[in-house]
Amino acid sequence: MLKGKVAYITGGTKGIGYGIAQALLDKGMKVAITGRSLQAAEKAAATLKGDRAAILALESDVSSLAAEQNAIAAVVQQFGQVDVVIANAGIGHFASIENISEAQWKETIDTNLTGVFHTVKAGVDPLKQTKGYIITIASLAGANFFENGSAYNASKFGLVGFTQAVMLDLRKYGIKVTTIMPGSVATHFNNHTPNDADAWKIQPEDIGELVVDILQLNPRTLPSKIEVRPSMPSK
Ligand SMILES: NC(=O)c1ccc[n+]([C@@H]2O[C@H](COP(=O)([O-])OP(=O)(O)OC[C@H]3O[C@@H](n4cnc5c(N)ncnc54)[C@H](OP(=O)(O)O)[C@@H]3O)[C@@H](O)[C@H]2O)c1
């Protein structure tokens, strides 16, 4: 069912995007991954397991609409189509409203919210051709606010609302839209280095498995918003 289909994944150099890329490759899909530098994207692509011809590494900063349009055009040129767009790229700045800077606010919104708008906007036309799928990676921080989270919460609450409205806009074209809202995932997020103490967290490959399950659901069914969290709390 997924074999031969093409996915475009923003922020696939590490963490959740990388885990999704590997899971889709394992199902016989072709994948394009992006990062802010071509070097990082190519380095990550080289470590993905699978048919080399099924993997494309691209540089694109999601804060630029033109960059996202160019990246998706490159995917269509290389693989002929786009079936799945995963808007995953994201960052976090965490500080109280007294301390968070304008630059940190802007980078958070430009990446996590406007960046997803750019990715989705660039993906709509090719996805109309394939009656494809858009998945955005939001967060439980898109439904639960916390101290020092003003910029991140604003970006993720916004992203959840954005994705649900887009889901209603695109359903009529046969394009499905889902937002995944993970809790703690063992990634490099916020300068973290994954380690043994992260064993209780969701692992990136688990989000990959979830994406595969979503894509393989009976097409009459659309899980529009999914909260996912570690089954056991941290000790
Ligand atoms: N980890 C968690 O606990 C958790 C929980 C809920 C939601 N999330 C969300 O999951 C998504 C992925 O994060 P992660 O946890 O996997 O973190 P990560 O390991 O730090 O990976 C982030 C990815 O996003 C890319 N990226 C960042 N800014 C970008 C930009 N402007 N343009 C293009 N790519 C960009 C990075 O690529 P380069 O650095 O190579 O540019 C990297 O590939 C984010 O949206 C995050 O908010 C994470």
Answer whether 179 contacts ligand 1 (Cβ < 6 A).
no
* Residue 201 neighbours by CB under 8 Å, 6+ apart: 184, 185, 186, 230, 234
Would the CB of 228 count as within 6 Å of ligand 1? no
Side-chain half-sphere exposure of 196, counting CA atoms within 13 A: 0
At residue 203, the 3 state secondary structure works out as coil
Report the predicted TM-score, pTM, of the whole model to 2 decimal places: 0.98
19 and 98 Cβ atoms separated by less than 8 Å = no
Domain ranges of the chain: 6-228
The CA distance from 140 to 199, in Å, is 19
Residue whose CA lies nearest to ligand 1 atom number 32: 61
Nearest CA to ligand 1 atom 17: 189
Domain 6-228 sits in CATH at 3.40.50.720
Query: Is 8 annotated as catalytic?
Result: no
Q: Is the CB of 184 under 6 A from ligand 1?
A: yes
- How far apart CA 222 and CA 105 sit, in angstroms, is 33
Written as tens digits, the pLDDT of the chain (235 aa) is 899 999 999 999 999 999 999 999 999 999 999 999 999 999 999 999 999 999 999 999 999 999 999 999 999 999 999 999 999 999 999 999 999 999 999 999 999 999 999 999 999 999 999 999 999 999 999 999 999 999 999 999 999 999 999 999 999 999 999 999 999 999 999 999 999 999 999 999 999 999 999 999 999 999 999 999 999 988 7
Q: Is the CB of 11 under 6 A from ligand 1?
A: yes
Residue type, 230: P
Spacing, Cα 225 to ligand 1 middle (Å): 19
**Ligand 1 center–CA 207 separation, angstroms:** 13
